Amino acid sequence: MQALAELQRFTPFKALAGDSQTLLAQGLVTKQCGSADMALHKGQPVSGAYVVLAGRLRVFSLSPNGTEATLYFIDPGETCVLALNCLFNDLLYPAWVQAETPSTIALIPGAVYRRLFEREPAIQNLTVHTLSTLVFRLMSELELVHSSHHKQRLANFILMQSASDGVLHMTQQQLAQHLGTTREVVARLLQEFVARGWVSTRRGAIAIKDLFGLRELVSPGAS
């Protein structure tokens, strides 16, 4: 099957025993998401484990007043841990998931995943490791949120998310949404960054000019 072959490009699924492979193949479904499609809604019951095969998903929370904030991204080969979480605890999904770019997602039904978990050490490790990673990301995010101003968070976001050429292709509106703030705040802060010669802005993108200036702002003294 096509989907199974795709899935087996990624480590933990390569090493499964023969009958586990069959089990996996039986229930596997793939799902295509166009850019900006919602993959999962908040409050939706979770039917299985999600593994991203291609593209990129964005997990974010949406507050009553309309501001959203990105929690983290899921890249190919990674699984959506929140879904795992819900799977093992019978919870409703606690956030929103949207495709950043057109994406392909493999969906392993809950029952199948649980059986795999019982018998395959590789899946056990994958599960624990994935959960751990998420915990770590959330901790970092949480620490970041209440230990720093928007100024620092913006600098950090630019540093972390810019492509290897130091350019971040994103409108200020999107940037504001990722940080859970408004466009004006982003514009004001960027204006200051530009004045200091740290970045340059143009329509739809931001280019880093002084990496160390930004770094110094994010973690002062850590040179």
Partner DNA sequence: GGGCTTCAGTAGCAAAAGCTACACAGTGCG
Partner DNA sequence: CGCACTGTGTAGCTTTTGCTACTGAAGCCC
Q: Would you tell me which residues interact with DNA (CB under 7 A)?
A: 65, 67, 149-151, 171-173, 180-185, 187-191, 194, 201-205
Please say which residue, 47 or 67, places its beta carbon nearer to DNA. Answer: 67
Q: How far apart are CA 123 and CA 117, in angstroms?
A: 5
Q: Interface with a second copy includes 223 (CB under 8 A)?
A: no
Q: Which of 88, 169, 173, 197 binds a second copy (CB under 8 A)?
A: 88
Name residue 76's amino acid.
P
Q: Interface with a second copy includes 64 (CB under 8 A)?
A: yes
User: Which parts of 37-95 are beta strand (E)?
Assistant: 38-40, 48-62, 68-74
Q: Interface with a second copy includes 85 (CB under 8 A)?
A: yes
The DSSP result for 68-82, as a single string, is: EEEEEEE-TT-B-HH
Give kind and range of the element (H or E) at residue 136.
helix 121-147
Which of 100, 99, 82 lies closest to 45, judged by CA? 82
Positions in 91-110 near a second copy (CB under 8 A): 91, 94-95
Task: Report in angstroms how near the CB of residue 155 gets to a second copy at its nearest.
Answer: 14
**Which string of b and e fits 96-116 if b means at least 16 CB within 10 Å?**
bbbbbeebbbbbbbbebbebb
Task: Report in angstroms how near the CB of residue 124 gets to a second copy at its nearest.
Answer: 6
- Let me know: does 112 contact 47? Beta carbons within 8 Å: no
Task: Report in angstroms how near the CB of residue 204 gets to DNA at its nearest.
Answer: 5
Please say which residue, 178 or 208, places its beta carbon nearer to a second copy. Answer: 178
Q: Interface with a second copy includes 89 (CB under 8 A)?
A: yes
Q: Interface with a second copy includes 135 (CB under 8 A)?
A: yes
Q: Interface with a second copy includes 38 (CB under 8 A)?
A: no
To the nearest 10°, report the CA torsion of 177, 182, 183, 188. -130
Treating both helix axes as pointing N-terminal to C-terminal, what angle do 81-89 and 110-119 enclose, rounded to 10 degrees?
A: 90
83 interface partner picked from DNA, a second copy, none, CB below 5 to 8 A per type: none
Please say which residue, 127 or 199, places its beta carbon nearer to a second copy. Answer: 127
Count of residues near a second copy by CB under 8 A? 41
- Let me know: does 79 contact 86? Beta carbons within 8 Å: no
Q: Which residues bind a second copy (CB under 8 A)?
A: 61, 63-65, 67, 69, 71, 81-82, 84-85, 88-89, 91, 94-95, 117-118, 121, 124, 127-129, 131-136, 138-143, 145-148, 180, 220
